[in-house]
Structure 1
Amino acid sequence: MDLSPSRRLVLASQSPARLGLLRQAGFAPEVIVSGVDEDAISADSPAELARVLAEAKADAVSVRAEAAGALVVGCDSVLELDGQAYGKPADAEDATARWKAMRGRAGILRSGHCVIDTASGRRASATASATVRFGEPTDDEIAAYVATGEPLRVAGAFTIDGRAAPFVDSIDGNHGTVLGLSVPLLRQLLASLDVRVTDLWA
């Protein structure tokens, strides 16, 4: 019995969290980093920005020769707070200010997804959302967290699978959405392209 996937799956992201989510769900994706300049892209709302960024990453990778015939998945995340979109903080000072603004409050993590079937040219995209309720870390705890460097590498200046976990009280929505990739939404997008998720299991 052949247990190999029927199609190649390419992740257009260097995020270890996204790669880990896909592997845990039974996939064996290849990784091709898009190189998209995220700061050069804008949109009318945080949810749309997440989707447009995901589309830009998938587009950039799908035209490369090494992605020919593959299913390319692009993802990007932003944190929405007070109607504003926040990606990765610019520096430690920015990350500190973010955390002081977020503590004791709730934000919405928007994760855009785009799947491009390079064999057919068909595509599908959507945004998943999850509400994140932040705890109230002290100034000293925030300083210690920022000093680890972790918040500088992630959208919203936090990640629930790392050192920020003690500072997140609860999540309403899919856990993967907060990590940057909703596997249930990915299944829906693949289905809209007539691809069964089970056929991609490794």
Structure 2
Amino acid sequence: MILASQSPRRIELMREAGFDVRVIPADVDETPRAGEPPFELVERLAATKAEAVAAESAEPGELVLAADTIVAIDGEALGKPADETDARAMLRRLSGRTHQVATGVCLLRAACEGSEPGSPERPATRDVFTVVTDVTFYDLADAEIDAYVATGEPADKAGAYGIQGTGGRLLVRGINGDFYNVVGLPIAEVVRHMRLLN
């Protein structure tokens, strides 16, 4: 199968779950559409990534997995911070509040020939779904935010923090839902959907 992501966290989760994946990152425009709700955004991006990689790289019948994760608060998606100033602003916004982490997932089985000679081609099939986890932050002092930003961890993380690193140990008061969804891939849910798609 193909993992349409170069995220080290997603690669590790798939391999720890026993999957031998070909890593082929998707190169798609991730710009939100005007007024697009965060949960619709992650599903659209996951599907777009899976379709792009399947069209270019999938073998007949091969499974493609793509995902997109965002942090949402007040109905707005927070992506990766542009710089340290942006990271500080995001963390101040999350301080003392509960936000949602949503991962949109697309499983796409590439089209293939029928199993019997002369039988029709089996069309591509896909399953798109979203998993949402609530995350609550402690109240954060500016000095705590500055110290965390200085670690460099927020730079490539949606919402400017990583649950599996220093951010999870020092900023997060609690979570309600799938921890691995916050890491970037709700692996148990993915496996269950894969079984249904086969």
User: Structure 2 length normalisation: TM-score?
Assistant: 0.87
* Partner of residue 80 from structure 1, selected from 59, 72, 75: 72
Instruction: Tell me how far 1:93 sits from its aligned partner.
Output: 0.8
SS of 2:162's equivalent in the other structure is coil
Instruction: Tell me how far 1:41 sits from its aligned partner.
Output: 5.0
Instruction: Tell me how far 1:138 sits from its aligned partner.
Output: 2.2
2:107 equivalent in structure 1: 115
SS of 1:39's equivalent in the other structure is coil
Letter in 2 for 1:123: R
2:185 equivalent in structure 1: 181
* Structure 2 residue 152 is matched with structure 1 residue 149: yes
Instruction: Tell me how far 1:90 sits from its aligned partner.
Output: 1.6
Counting only pairs closer than 5 Å after superposition, residues 16-35 of structure 1 correspond to structure 2 as 16-35=8-27
**Is residue 160–residue 179 contact of structure 1 (8 Å, CA) maintained in 2?**
yes
Letter in 1 for 2:107: V
Determine which structure has greater relative contact order: mean sequence separation of CA pairs < 8 Å that are 6+ residues apart, divided by chain length.
1
Letter in 2 for 1:96: R
**Is residue 32–residue 41 contact of structure 2 (8 Å, CA) maintained in 1?**
no
2:56 equivalent in structure 1: 64
Give ranges in structure 1 of 5+ residues lacking alignment.
1-8, 196-202
Letter in 2 for 1:185: E
Higher radius of gyration, 1 or 2: 2
Instruction: Tell me how far 1:178 sits from its aligned partner.
Output: 0.6
SS of 1:64's equivalent in the other structure is helix
**Aligned length in residues:** 185
**Is residue 69–residue 102 contact of structure 2 (8 Å, CA) maintained in 1?**
yes
Give ranges in structure 2 of 5+ residues lacking alignment.
112-122
* Structure 2 residue 86 is matched with structure 1 residue 94: yes
Q: Distance in 2 between matches of 1:48 and 1:147?
A: 33
1:160 equivalent in structure 2: 163
- Structure 1 residues 180 and 41: CA distance shift in structure 2, 3 A: farther
- Structure 1 residues 77 and 164: CA distance shift in structure 2, 3 A: same
Q: Distance in 2 between matches of 1:60 and 1:152?
A: 26
Q: Distance in 1 between matches of 2:85 and 2:79?
A: 15
Q: Distance in 2 between matches of 1:41 and 1:26?
A: 36
SS of 2:124's equivalent in the other structure is coil
Aligned-residue Cα RMSD (Å) equals 1.6
